Structure 1
């Protein structure tokens, strides 16, 4: 049986990431960057598509794990009927070249000695190209085209075998003994990498995370959960560029066995302002400023050519294609690489950009004259396009519509430009911008609120409810106690909630203010939306209800504190790409809201 999504934990090094299963198998790794071709793809295929498992020879009867402190160093305890073993996995932060290091220790053994096996199956070219295995003394390199992965092992004497498909090692450990394994990613034309002292590597990695996490300013009952989410955001960031990917995975399904499977290994502008707020308010000014700088570089150019997403280094080319050799996570097909939504018009991004840059200024980041030139150009573009339909926040792939949130976010863009001009004494046509903001606002109030549904609805002329409209009070379009917002929240609670969580929208037809949500949604409950509701309830004075849904989401984190995009309330399991930036950002911001800071 395949592992559940929640059975995985994140490893990361500042440019790429891996998912390690609770059974000692690393089933997902894209090297050398987040959007690279995976060399382990068993997660969305099968064992034949690449993995690296280290485990005792005897069958496992119990497993538990934890991160060591506020780090991404993972310790997994593996128990058999005859012994107990501790497996420690990490990717060394900022290592050049990149490496995964694994260390296993025998803690207890009835027979005095126990056999440990390492089974490494590298697959290049999206999980299906067998490498050439090249030996050099006791080292082995898996080579294919431009890349070589070098395998090293230290410890007691071992037996090893190398075939076309596997590098296998078997080693016997006494109580207290350990074996160490390293996999290093190099260009195939480069000389073999230097051997790594695993103990020094572990010490350096733990020291990095300890020093980094000490910046956290959080206190209170949710501080540990918030810090774990912040560590996760750091793990999903590119240390060189400041870009933060939406998730390290592709094609983990929104509905198990379904076709809503997308590639999230890119940076979405829609996450910009909430991510900025989460980082800056938690004390991580360096990361917040790096994200601001990435954002400005990414959008540089003509405003009409602004994309909704970019790679972590700011590249624009993100072509979508289907990888038919991979059978998908629990047969959820197709498996997609790249994302065609990159070519969509999503007008909400302008509000996200302008709000992120406004938040950056509020948090004391130094002003940037070049950024202001870009911002003025974006507002000119908003003025030209705000009456046009788009694909919306949720990236619908059918016809464009006049999405209510898209209009609201264009109002946010103009509003934040006005605030920045006034508060930072920037040269701007404030009078014209005020008239533009008023025109957009009036249009939303006239067409976005549906009198029959007694709620703001997903698009003009529709009765479909949409949980993204919980953002209206969070972005300040209307106060949380405005009767129209209160009516919208009640409609969402009545129609888009299942098992105490919030669906984005109904996927089985139009939602109205009359009927309950389907018991079998086409996707899981959306965790960020549930946390947005917690924030809105808190602003409405419904503090116990806000805490209730916040605690509901906290309870869905896996054993090491990670959240996916969604939760399947029927199957009682996480679904969607994992771990997901927007879910963790929403958790951080909801905790801050509920704490009253």
Structure 2
């Protein structure tokens, strides 16, 4: 489940795998709808009577992004064919257009005819039912459509446009698809088909001996035939290679607009920092949805996906992006959350990118009793992140616009959702969505949300309401210290759960207990935080050559071994970086900071060559597990880098400050 390349602009997102095959096309929202759904949109070559798709093992391929851009470069070499391809892929920075150029290098001593074949396997609106694919002679293109979704495909070489094409039935009645038709180098030319359909287009060029030739392929997306024709004409008029260069310039300017002193970070780590910001950009819809991940291969496991907005993920991503200096990217997220609040003032489990409530497995009824199917940290963290956005950038008009519809409504709910027995926030599902109870991470997030609400109320002159929210926050903090600290173990516990009519301590060692410090319940310097984080860093350490920190002890999700001494769970990027955050915040010298920064380099070591970060890693091979890329992984890396940058600045400033005089000789 890996997407090596993600390219997008906030309304169109396209994912490619290591073979340069398109695997996902999301439009008109990032994450909604997926018009490919993980199928293979193949790319192949015919030369000297031989045909090869790029997933053939004979190809040696390497992909990367042009530095600080969202233009991907793939080099593919087929030694026995004497061919090298350099493929550039990007999405226009403004319009819903996918751009691809291919330079074909002929390594042999004779001129050769080369035919490139591009296969389109769409399931428009996430269904193969009722699609139409047709050839349009007016501009020599292929287009697929259903309802108000239109996709137009075209190409160019020095020999002209699309030289041959075929349209037909796929995965129905024994038909595999038109890609099979391409394997003899000739396409049948059927001009239209409807139902479960696909299409293949062929481009032809002559490549001189020991020289190269360039070809281009592009896709335009819109709501009707006229709109995609207009975009197609725009590409033909401006040339795909020129548009790709413009896109690269735009994204480089965006990724580097905020200047940082990166201290001792390596060039590789700095590149990953910028690439993480760009990856977050691809996963963020211009209307506010910050999606968790858009790798549709996860569908193979539970017939659902990660293409949702979890308010918790979104809040933490927004917090990191804001801290890095890009508030304009995440401000719409808070509008999205305000519009998604329930009438009672809480945020639901997750949302579709269009703002509707997403699927859930949290029940409204448990053991005969009704319950709210929520994760309370999601509501609290949105308020926390919103206050941090204001603190960092001071847009008081934007803060005022969401004060009542978001802050006050959500804070009133948080202040009312309390367990009368413990004084803690009432039971809910934990941040991993696996268990129901009262959890340290969740209640710490509620404390942070109430503090944020109090600050906003004071900012806008409502002292009475500010004091009321502050009082509830103080009471929650006192309850946390009373019920969630375990003196015998000398650390905070994961949480409490109900059993036999009584509260039982959940003593499982859990990385997210770090929330006690991350959300300001206690400072990092507090001895209780120090003891807890030492227990996490030692007890959840993956003791293979891969390293990293597990999510919690005996984590079952994609579990690779029952040897918990060796691997208490798989290493998670997020959880490993939480331990790094604690080390960075605790550092009192550059030497201590250097030790903490090793985790930043560890993350860079375990990113894909394209810079993508997964949710978790195989503890033995280090290969990605679950979805890749995970937006929260990239955001946590950005957040940790910013903590490192700020602490480096603080420590270097302190170390260079002249020592004050300790005596006043001659005074008086």
Equivalent-residue separation in structure 1 for 2:260 and 2:626 (angstroms): 29
Partner of 1:568: 618
Change (3 A) 1:320 1:482: closer
Cα deviation per residue 1:354-392 (whole Å; 9 max; x = unaligned)?
211211221212243342223223222112113210001
Change (3 A) 1:126 1:518: farther
Contact 2:67 2:271 in 1 (8 A): no
> Aligned pair 1:492/2:536, yes or no?
yes
Equivalent-residue separation in structure 1 for 2:126 and 2:356 (angstroms): 21
Equivalent-residue separation in structure 1 for 2:98 and 2:221 (angstroms): 9
Cα deviation per residue 1:486-535 (whole Å; 9 max; x = unaligned)?
221122123222142111113468xxxxx9845466x6322111111101
Partner of 1:512: none
Equivalent-residue separation in structure 2 for 1:215 and 1:152 (angstroms): 34
Q: Which of residues 443, 446, 471 is equivalent to 1:435?
A: 471
Q: Please identify runs of 4+ aligned residues in structure 1 that moved more than 6 A.
A: none
Partner of 1:376: 408
> Normalising to structure 1: TM-score of the pair?
0.84
Equivalent-residue separation in structure 1 for 2:98 and 2:5 (angstroms): 14
Equivalent-residue separation in structure 1 for 2:594 and 2:254 (angstroms): 33
Partner of 1:147: 149
Query: Partner of 1:215: helix, strand, or coil?
Result: coil
Moved more, 459-468 or 132-141: 132-141
User: RMSD of aligned C-alpha atoms?
Assistant: 2.8
Cα deviation per residue 1:173-227 (whole Å; 9 max; x = unaligned)?
4133211112222335657523223234323322321332242222323432211
Equivalent-residue separation in structure 1 for 2:481 and 2:622 (angstroms): 39
Equivalent-residue separation in structure 2 for 1:528 and 1:130 (angstroms): 42
Partner of 2:276: 229
Equivalent-residue separation in structure 2 for 1:577 and 1:426 (angstroms): 44
Partner of 1:327: none
Contact 2:13 2:282 in 1 (8 A): yes
Partner of 1:524: 570
Contact 1:391 1:401 in 2 (8 A): yes
Partner of 1:557: 607
Cα deviation per residue 1:557-596 (whole Å; 9 max; x = unaligned)?
1112110111121342112222111111111111111221
> Normalising to structure 2: TM-score of the pair?
0.76
Contact 2:310 2:350 in 1 (8 A): yes
Partner of 1:326: none
Deviation at 1:160, TM superposition (A): 3.1
Contact 1:116 1:173 in 2 (8 A): no
Which blocks of at least 5 consecutive residues in structure 1 are unaligned?
A: 43-48, 322-342, 510-514
> Aligned pair 1:22/2:22, yes or no?
no
Contact 1:76 1:87 in 2 (8 A): yes
Moved more, 153-162 or 377-386: 153-162
Deviation at 1:423, TM superposition (A): 5.2
Q: Which of residues 311, 315, 330 is equivalent to 1:269?
A: 311
> Aligned pair 1:546/2:596, yes or no?
yes
Partner of 1:318: 358
Change (3 A) 1:30 1:287: closer
Change (3 A) 1:61 1:378: closer
Equivalent-residue separation in structure 2 for 1:412 and 1:488 (angstroms): 19
Change (3 A) 1:100 1:489: same
> Aligned pair 1:51/2:57, yes or no?
no
Equivalent-residue separation in structure 1 for 2:514 and 2:304 (angstroms): 24
Partner of 2:663: none
Partner of 1:12: 8
Partner of 2:657: none
Aligned residue-pair number: 549
Contact 2:156 2:203 in 1 (8 A): no
Partner of 1:248: 294
Change (3 A) 1:421 1:144: closer
Partner of 1:535: 581
Contact 2:346 2:413 in 1 (8 A): no
Equivalent-residue separation in structure 1 for 2:619 and 2:45 (angstroms): 33
Partner of 1:392: 430
Partner of 1:46: none
Partner of 1:160: 165
Residues 28-427 of structure 1: pairs in structure 2 closer than 5 A: 28-42=24-38, 49-55=39-45, 57-58=51-52, 60-81=58-79, 82-95=82-95, 98-110=96-108, 111-113=110-112, 114-124=114-124, 126=126, 128-129=128-129, 131-137=131-137, 138-155=140-157, 156=159, 158-164=163-169, 165-166=177-178, 167-168=199-200, 169-174=202-207, 175-187=211-223, 193-194=229-230, 195=232, 196-197=235-236, 198-220=240-262, 221=265, 222-239=269-286, 241-250=287-296, 252=298, 259=301, 263-299=305-341, 302-313=343-354, 315-319=355-359, 344-363=373-392, 364-367=394-397, 368-373=399-404, 374-387=406-419, 388-396=426-434, 398=435, 400-422=436-458, 425-427=461-463
Query: Partner of 1:32: helix, strand, or coil?
Result: strand
Change (3 A) 1:508 1:558: closer
Change (3 A) 1:412 1:261: farther
* Bigger radius of gyration: 2
Deviation at 1:105, TM superposition (A): 1.1
Partner of 1:329: none
Query: Partner of 2:610: helix, strand, or coil?
Result: coil
Query: Partner of 1:193: helix, strand, or coil?
Result: helix
Query: Partner of 2:602: helix, strand, or coil?
Result: helix
Cα deviation per residue 1:414-450 (whole Å; 9 max; x = unaligned)?
2222333445644443333333122211211111123
